[in-house]
Amino acid sequence: MAPIDQVQLNFNPATLGLLNAVLGLVMFGVALELKVDDFRNALKTPKGTRLGETDWWGKAPYWRHPSQQKMIQVDADAEMLGMNKPADLAILGDAKLFLAALALRLEARKGEIRSEARQKNIARYNETKRRDREDWDRALADRSAPMNPAHVASVCRDFFADDAIVVADGGNTTIWASFYHRVRVPNTLLSTFKFGMLGAGVAQALGAAVAFPERQVVCIIGDGAMGFHPQEIETAVRNKLKVIYLVLCDRAWGMVKINQSFTLRPIKTMLKKHLDADENIGTDLGEIEFDKLAVSMGAHGERVSDPKELKPALERCRASGRCAVIHVDVNPVKHMWAPGLIHFKDMHREPKGK
């Protein structure tokens, strides 16, 4: 770990006003050390997240090379400082308070910031976002069975209350869930975004249900991932935890299968969308009837293939008043082609970036 400067901020939310003033003073000291460009870069750093797999570990080319970009890291946990990427300035403190203090300092130096160029950039990003969203939403017009996996998170978003806790687990399943779920209330999405260890979601959902007994917990999970700890359905039944699991069944390690297909035969994969049955190696799974498995443990079970059946199945799950599992048959080829796949593949082209 590269040596880092460290500024320790002590804060107590009860005396926020006083602390803001103290922070203002501390930040004034920091401001003396940093140029406005550094502040701009600070605003580019991810806030409220930890640098991990889904931030491309802070590596080029998505991030500027370290020689071109100063890294300012703010974390309430000292152990995280400089953990995944060396920080030029490491600040031990609460990100929200830090940003409030930073905003105060920046306000005073507004004239030095070329906000026009930045606003242009933001407009460009928003336009790209809008176009991408339009593309992704087209998948929702696909009403064929077995269903396009886009429907699952989308129907759940409509069905469950805004404060329902959603857990995403599995390879492509997590990508599909991330693109079609909308977070409307803070701290309502759980997953393993930093390491992607399959199977954790089954019990994350149980933990969430224990922590928030008055809220609905729903877990969208791949068939491979569900195979890691299916016995936790019995834990849910025994502890009267009314988690609803939707298991996306493509009968494959879908994310591995698409990557493997590209590696083995990229042109055929592009043209035909999938390889022939005997061409992939060890990426197919047999069928597990997750609805029946759930029933065998005392939970409610449903099986759905047609997108129009999804909502009624969710209604029956809720009405059952206990843990429920929906075996969702998804089109295995469409499931392999998760949105943003190309970026996800880029991310794994290690160790290209620095």
Ligand X SMILES: Cc1ncc(C[n+]2csc(CCOP(=O)(O)OP(=O)(O)O)c2C)c(N)n1
Q: Which of ligand X, Mg ion, none does residue 172 bind to, with CB < 5 to 8 Å depending on kind?
A: ligand X
CA distance 293 to 300: 10
Does position 173 interact with ligand X (CB under 6 A)? The reply is yes
Least distance from ligand X to the Cβ atom of residue 248, Å: 6
Q: What are the angstrom distances between the C-alpha of 318 and each of 76, 91, 209, 244, 302?
A: 39, 46, 14, 8, 12
Interface residue with ligand X, options 24, 46, 66, 196 (CB under 6 A): 196
Does position 223 interact with Mg ion (CB under 5 A)? The reply is yes
Q: What are the angstrom distances between the C-alpha of 88 and each of 46, 66, 342?
A: 15, 9, 31
Interface residue with Mg ion, options 55, 250, 291, 329 (CB under 5 A): 250
CA distance 181 to 179: 6
Q: Which amino acid is at 265?
A: R
Does position 75 interact with ligand X (CB under 6 A)? The reply is no
Q: Which of ligand X, Mg ion, none does residue 88 bind to, with CB < 5 to 8 Å depending on kind?
A: none
DSSP 173: H
Does position 224 interact with ligand X (CB under 6 A)? The reply is yes
Residues that bind Mg ion (rule: CB under 5 A) add up to a total of 6
Nearest position to ligand X, beta carbon: 222
Does position 222 interact with Mg ion (CB under 5 A)? The reply is yes
Least distance from Mg ion to the Cβ atom of residue 252, Å: 5
DSSP 92: E
Does position 197 interact with ligand X (CB under 6 A)? The reply is yes
CB 153 within 8 A of CB 188: no
Least distance from ligand X to the Cβ atom of residue 228, Å: 7
Structure tokens at 289: 């009837």
Q: How many residues does the chain have?
A: 354
CA distance 17 to 21: 6
What residues are paired with 329 via a beta bridge? 249
Least distance from Mg ion to the Cβ atom of residue 304, Å: 16
**Which stretch, 42-50, 127-135, 156-164, 254-262, contacts Mg ion (CB under 5 A)?**
254-262
Q: Which amino acid is at 328?
A: V
Least distance from ligand X to the Cβ atom of residue 90, Å: 30
For the sheet containing 324-329, what is the strand order? 189-190, 165-169, 217-222, 244-249, 324-329, 300-304
Residues that bind ligand X (rule: CB under 6 A) add up to a total of 19
Q: Which of Mg ion, ligand X, none does residue 255 bind to, with CB < 5 to 8 Å depending on kind?
A: ligand X
Does position 165 interact with ligand X (CB under 6 A)? The reply is no
Q: Scan residues 239-268 and list those touching ligand X (CB under 6 A).
A: 248, 250, 252-256
Comparison of 179 and 253: residue with beta carbon closer to ligand X: 253
CA distance 156 to 170: 17
Structure tokens at 199: 């199977």
CA distance 184 to 16: 26
Residues that bind ligand X (CB under 6 A): 170-173, 196-199, 222-225, 248, 250, 252-256
Residues that bind Mg ion (CB under 5 A): 222-224, 250, 252, 254
